[in-house]
Amino acid sequence: MRLVLATLLICLLAGCASEPVVMRWDAAKEDKASDGRVWPAPQTQEVPRYRYIGQLTGEANFKPANASRSGWQQAWQLITGLLERAESPTELQRPLCGTVDSRGRVLVGDVSRGAIFVFDEAGGKLEVWDEAAPGVRFISPVGIATGHNGEVWVADAELGRVFRLDAAGQPLGEVGAGLLRRPTGLAHDPVLRRWFVSDGPAHDIKVFDDAGRLIDRWGRQGEGPGEFNLPTHLAYAQGRLYATDGLNARVQAFDEQGQVQASFGRRGLYVGNLVRPKGVAADDEGNVYIVESMHDTLLVFDGQARLLMSFGGTGSEIGRFYLPAGVWVDGRNRVFVADMFNGRIVVFQFLGGA
């Protein structure tokens, strides 16, 4: 009934005209103190490397394109706000993983909502995909990657499978039933068209082709090079696969043949050491990003595993995190951090290393 009344009222007040909507990168209230925030901070006298862009939280990111409104429009906003106040907003709860597809959409896996949030800047809309397969809903979407023709693969740890979706979020099939025990990380090799899936309890990375056939396994349980102790997050960039080796407190980098090229981090208590590494990503200049969730920080290494900088710390203000999980980088070298317990995706722009 409320929907009917609302529809009638909007027709009366606004002539049923639809107002364009755009995606704003910062869902928070206008905060002039956040404008131009960079890391390292100016007072360090170092060259800034990262600039704060904003954060994604959900429907609050989508605003009318025309900031100036008539009295009728303002009245309508007040009325609809009162009608919808009792309804829960569509917003992130516990974002854990994400990626950016070829259309520039930001896809985020939320383990609390059991769904994929799709932030579509070009389309000015937010979508929520919760159907993994016909009659099956996502429970714990912890890994996501995109491939050819806009295809999206989602690893669901609780369901023990990887699900294939088309670019509109419609189910296409599943991969790994009976082969995967608890899939977590996902990465795609666009050249050789391979998909990498980390399987934590099996302590290996399983490799599938585009058709979903198992073609290889990398690693086994252990502490040596190429071995794993509960692998989780994955990333693929410039011919390298990066794998978070959780209980070995490191990230390993592999070449296209599965040979170890580098190892990032080690267990310890100093800045740059790893305790609970989670998300991993790399940009097109070879910088490697690792989420250290124990200390709520983002670590930045060069391609030779040398620590370049660290920023973060526990909190909810800009530049701080609360149990961050995933990290990913898009084609514009924007760095996205899934700030899980703050319920948001924080976005930074890499300014270059020169």
Tokens, residue 58: 């959900």
Length of the chain: 354
Q: What is the per-residue pLDDT for 11?
A: 46
Q: Which tens digits make up the pLDDT trace of 25-35?
A: 986 554 555 55
Locate 44 and state its tokens.
């360090």
How sure is the predictor about 12, in pLDDT bands with cuts at 50, 70 and 90? very low
Q: Is 278 exposed, middle or buried (0-12, 13-18, 19+ CB in 10 A)?
A: buried
**pLDDT tens digits, one per residue of 93-111:** 999 999 999 999 999 999 9
CB 244 within 8 A of CB 236: no
As a whole number, mean pLDDT of residues 292-297 equals 95
> Structure tokens of 117?
């949030």
Query: Tens digit of pLDDT for each residue in 241-254?
Result: 999 999 999 999 99
Q: Using CA atoms, how far apart are residues 182 and 148, in angstroms rounded to an integer?
A: 25
Are the CB atoms for 159 and 168 separated by under 8 Å? no
Alpha-carbon distance of 133 to 128, in angstroms, equals 15
- Distances 271 to 38, 90, 288, 296 between C-alpha atoms, Å: 20, 37, 16, 12
Say how far apart CA 325 and CA 140 lie, in whole Å: 14
Give the pLDDT band (50/70/90) at residue 132: very high
Count of Cβ atoms closer than 10 Å to residue 349 Cβ: 15
CA 278/CA 32 separation, integer angstroms: 32
State the Cα–Cα distance between residues 35 and 73, nearest whole angstrom: 29
Domains, the chain, ranges and CATH?
A: 1-22+66-91 (no CATH), 95-350 (2.120.10.30)
Tens-place pLDDT, residues 56-85: 999 999 998 875 554 555 554 555 554 554
- At 64, list the tokens: 């009318």
Please provide residue 47's backbone torsions phi and psi, each rounded to the nearest 5 degrees.
Answer: -70, 125
pLDDT range class, residue 18, cuts 50, 70, 90: low
